Amino acid sequence: MSSDAVPPVKTPSLPANYGGVLRFTLTGMVFAFVMFVIMGIFGLTMRTEQSGLLNLLGPELFYRIMTLHGLSMVSLALLGSIAGFAAVIGRRVVLDTRWLWATFFFFFIGMMFVLFSTLGGGFAAAWTALYPLPFHGGYAFWGVIGATVGIGFVLVGLLFYCVLITRTVSRAHGGVINALGWPLIVRRTARQENLSILDVLAVAVAIPGIVAVIAGFTWLIPLWLQASGLIQSIDVLFMKNFDYLFGHLLVNLTIYFAAGLMYFLLPAYTGRAWKLSRTYALALNAITFIVPIIYLHHLYQDFAQPLAFQVAGQIGTYVSVIPVILITLFGGLSQYYRSGIRWDVTTIFLAIGLWGWMFGGMAAALDATIAVNQVMHNTLWIPGHFHTYFLLGAVVFLWGFLFSILRTLSGAGSSPRTRYAAAAYGVGGAGFTLMFLASGASSIPRRYAVHFPEWQIFASIAVPFIILIGVGVIWIGYVMLSRVPRAWERTRGPVDILPEGGS
């Protein structure tokens, strides 16, 4: 397959340091995958506890595991998506690998802080805690300090990455305005020959990433000042706005960077270039300007919020759905349609990701409707839609991409039987997330460690589906990890990750 599907900015040759970029990609994504398996086991344990099949945790340990599971899953998925996207955008521009390794270092340190603070320090207040939490809880004081410092390290790593991407891609195209495709948007006849959909996506997502870092520290620094006694009180609604702004953006960054992996891979398998048009440029720019606003739909329950904020949250959410449908669903399905694509682990995962992101997004948009939110917000509908577009959307894009590049770099063959593992992941994920959504539709509350007997049927049905996910993940993981040594060795010479027609 020709590399014309993703043309380089200036020259068909890859940057001289591309092997170093790939080593960062492999390190970040393999670490993320291993952590995903571990955190998935914790997730299975929690759901089994709620089903009544296991009664070993108790509320205290349950909430510690819930906190670790949530913080780690978001962090590892974000690390995996930015590591993968570095390999994609690093084919087109020269990325400074020192900044990339700094990114990994801060993510790794931050995640280890969270791990030890929850399991060792007993921190169990999640990331949405407001006064008197997180500092006045039934756990060690150092636990909450360690967890919040860990979040801070992750934010520093994200800042390194987003500044690097914004600066490098913008310089390659003569400034941020050009990199965002504004000449193409403003003047319909304007042509930006060297600009691709991946370039615009890179800058359009990295800018909100910097906003997420600012919001995160606007939330963290007052917490630390209050813990030190330098300030006595904080406006709780102010804190909650920045808490949810940063958390909302972290999740959306993960999804959009992961989607970039699909925009790169699918044309290589189908032979159809995913060209940048004025409409696509507009849709991608909506990520920059609309996604940071719609965190407001998380705060409908806060009646002290100005009414204009609540209205903006609902309208912004509906508007944000348009680029997702336009670029991801229509664009992705048009790539598949009558392409004669060969179905393997990667192409199956990318297809699952398309539908998982779309159905999860629909469930999220439904909850973002104020009238529905008043009923559903504190139910298991929320983890239902989140797990749908995360487990069956962003994360599945990551593992499809990792499987593809490891196969390409290692030169290994492909066994058709691994497709069954991908199918097991998809079926298991669908059953698991549907049980969350069904629980929410039945008004079962979220964040309850212990479920009444009449609630346990949904979790009981979910458990076999989670095990099915585990079977698929372990099978595919064994295949992928066995290819890592050979793939790593190949990065020391001239090599590309573009698959030749799939296999």
pLDDT in tens, 412-435: 877 788 999 999 999 999 999 999
CA distances from 378 to 91, 267, 360, 444 (A): 44, 41, 17, 9
Residue 322 in this model has a pLDDT that exceeds 80: no
φ, ψ dihedrals at 17, nearest 5°: -95, 20
Least confident of 177-181, 185-189, 277-281, 417-421: 185-189
Whether 119 shows a pLDDT value over 60: the answer reads yes
Q: What is the pLDDT of residues 371-391, one digit of tens each?
A: 999 999 999 999 999 999 999
Q: Is the dihedral of CA 178, 182, 184, 186 positive or negative?
A: negative
Question: What is the average pLDDT across 350-371?
Answer: 91
Q: Rounded to whole angstroms, how far apart are CA atoms 314 and 294?
A: 7
pLDDT grade, residue 325 (50/70/90)?
confident
Tell me how far apart the alpha carbons of residues 115 and 109 are, in angstroms, rounded to a whole number.
10
Tell me the per-residue pLDDT of 233-248, one tens digit each, with 9 for 90 and over.
889 999 999 999 999 9
pLDDT band with cut points at 50, 70 and 90 for residue 135? confident
Q: Is residue 497 part of a domain?
A: no
**3-state DSSP helix/strand/coil % of the chain, to nearest 5:** 75, 0, 25
Which of the four pLDDT bands, split at 50, 70 and 90, describes residue 340? confident
Query: What are the angstrom distances between the C-alpha of 84 and each of 71, 157, 210, 411?
Result: 20, 15, 19, 19
Question: What's the pLDDT band for 330 if we cut at 50, 70, 90?
Answer: confident
Mean pLDDT over residues 349-363, rounded? 92
> Residue 191 — pLDDT band, cuts 50, 70, 90?
low
Task: State the average pLDDT over residues 87-99.
Answer: 96
Where is pLDDT greater, at 499 or 28? 28
Asked if the structure places residue 146 within a domain, the reply is: yes
Evaluate whether residue 502 is within a structural domain. no
* pLDDT tops 50 at residue 5: no
pLDDT at 161: 98
8 A C-beta contact, residue 365 and residue 318: yes
- Which of 494 and 404 is assigned the larger pLDDT? 404
Domain, as residue range, for 239 = 3-490
Average pLDDT estimate for 38-49: 96
Per the model's pLDDT, the better-predicted residue between 426 and 137 turns out to be 426
- Residue 190 is predicted with a pLDDT of 61
pLDDT at 189: 60
Whether the per-residue pLDDT at 503 is higher than 70: the answer is no
Q: What is the 8-class DSSP label of residue 2?
A: -
Counted domains in the chain: 1
Does 503 map to a domain? Answer: no
Taking only the tens place, the pLDDT of each residue in 435-483 is 999 999 999 999 999 999 999 999 999 999 999 999 999 999 999 999 9
414: in domain: yes
Mean pLDDT of the chain: 91
Tell me, rounded to whole angstroms, the distance of Cα 438 from its chain centroid.
24
Instruction: Give 222's strand partners.
Output: none
Q: How confident is the model at residue 6 (pLDDT cuts 50, 70, 90)?
A: very low
- Write a three-state SS string for 176-244: HHHHCCHHHHHCCCCCCCCCCHHHHHHHHHHHHHHHHHHHHHHHHHHHHHHHHCCCCCCCHHHHHHHHH
pLDDT for res 495? 86
In a domain, 467, yes or no: yes
Answer whether residue 68 is part of any domain. yes
- Whichever domain contains 196, its CATH number is 1.20.210.10
Contact assessment for residue 434 and residue 299, using Cβ atoms and an 8 Å cutoff? no
Summarize pLDDT for 161-174 with one digit per residue, the tens: 999 999 999 999 99
Q: Is residue 501 part of a domain?
A: no
pLDDT at 10 (0 to 100) = 36
Q: Of the candidates 195, 394, 208, 339, which has an alpha carbon nearest to the alpha carbon of residue 277?
A: 195
Where do the DSSP E strands lie in 87-213? Answer: none
